C-alpha cells in the first residue's frame, strides 16, 4: 500500500507506549475554550481538541507540517515530524465520559482510512526514504484542562 522506499517507524521503549499526562493546560485564551465547550457544534469542539493536540505535540518537540489534510471524504487531523519520522496523528476529544474512552473510537475501519490517506499524502509530497508512524491522541476535558493520552505507533497497516 505504501510507496516504495518507505519504512514504518517503531517506537521501542521500556515504558508503555501510552503516555498519560496529568492535566495539560494549553496556552489559548479561556474565551476561545469556553466558546467551544459551550457550543453544541461538535466541529467547534473537535477543532479545540485539535488545537490542544497541536500545542501538546509542539511542546514535545514535534514540528506540525499540516492540519486537517483532506482527500475525498477523509481527513488526517495532524501530520507532524519528529527527527526523521513523519507522524500521522488521529485526535479524539471527549467532553464527558458518556461515550467511553476516546481511544476506543479509532476502530479498524478508521485505521485503514487513515492509512490510505497517508499513502496518498506520501505519494503527493514525494516523500522517500523516511520513517513514518500512526499516533493517536485522546483528550478528555477536565475542569482545569485536558487529560491527554498519547499513543505512539498506535496501529500498523
What are the residues whose beta carbons fall under 8 Å from the beta carbon of 132, sequence distance 6 or more?
A: 2, 6, 7, 8, 9, 85, 86, 87, 88, 118, 122
44-90 residue pLDDT tens? 677 888 999 999 999 999 999 999 999 988 999 999 999 889 999 99
C-alpha cell at 39: 457550543
pTM of the full structure: 0.77
Tally DSSP H helices, then E strands, for the chain. 3, 7
50 is in which domain, residue-wise? 17-151
32 belongs to a structural domain: yes
Structural domain count of the chain:
1
98 belongs to a structural domain: yes
* pLDDT (0 to 100) of residue 26: 58
9-24 residue pLDDT tens? 443 333 234 444 456 5
Counting residues of the chain whose pLDDT is more than 90, the rounded percentage is: 47
156 belongs to a structural domain: no
* pLDDT (0 to 100) of residue 104: 79
* pLDDT (0 to 100) of residue 53: 94
CATH of the domain at 76: 3.40.1350.10
Residue positions counted in the chain: 157
Q: Say if residue 30's pLDDT is above 60.
A: no
Q: Say if residue 8's pLDDT is above 80.
A: no
Q: Say if residue 28's pLDDT is above 70.
A: no
* pLDDT (0 to 100) of residue 42: 56
57 belongs to a structural domain: yes
Please say whether the beta carbons of 67 and 55 come within 8 A: no
101 belongs to a structural domain: yes
Which residue did the predictor score with more confidence, 62 or 106? 62
5 belongs to a structural domain: no
Amino acid at each position: 500500500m505504501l510507496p516504495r522506499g518507505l519504512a514504518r517507524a517503531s517506537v521501542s521503549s521500556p515504558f508503555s507506549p501510552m503516555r498519560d499526562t496529568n492535566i495539560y493546560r494549553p496556552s489559548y485564551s479561556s474565551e476561545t475554550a469556553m466558546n467551544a465547550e459551550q457550543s453544541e457544534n461538535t466541529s467547534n469542539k473537535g477543532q479545540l481538541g485539535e488545537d490542544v493536540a497541536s500545542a501538546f505535540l509542539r511542546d514535545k518537540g514535534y514540528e506540525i507540517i499540516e492540519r486537517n489534510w483532506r482527500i475525498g471524504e477523509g481527513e488526517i487531523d495532524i501530520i507532524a515530524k519528529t527527527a526523521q519520522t513523519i507522524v500521522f496523528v488521529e485526535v479524539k476529544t471527549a467532553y464527558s465520559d458518556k461515550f467511553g474512552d476516546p481511544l476506543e473510537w479509532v476502530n479498524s475501519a478508521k485505521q485503514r482510512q487513515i492509512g490510505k490517506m497517508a499513502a496518498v499524502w506520501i505519494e503527493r509530497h514525494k516523500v522517500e526514504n523516511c520513517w513514518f508512524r500512526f499516533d493517536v491522541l485522546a483528550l478528555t476535558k477536565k475542569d482545569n484542562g485536558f487529560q491527554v493520552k498519547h499513543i505512539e505507533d498506535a496501529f500498523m497497516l
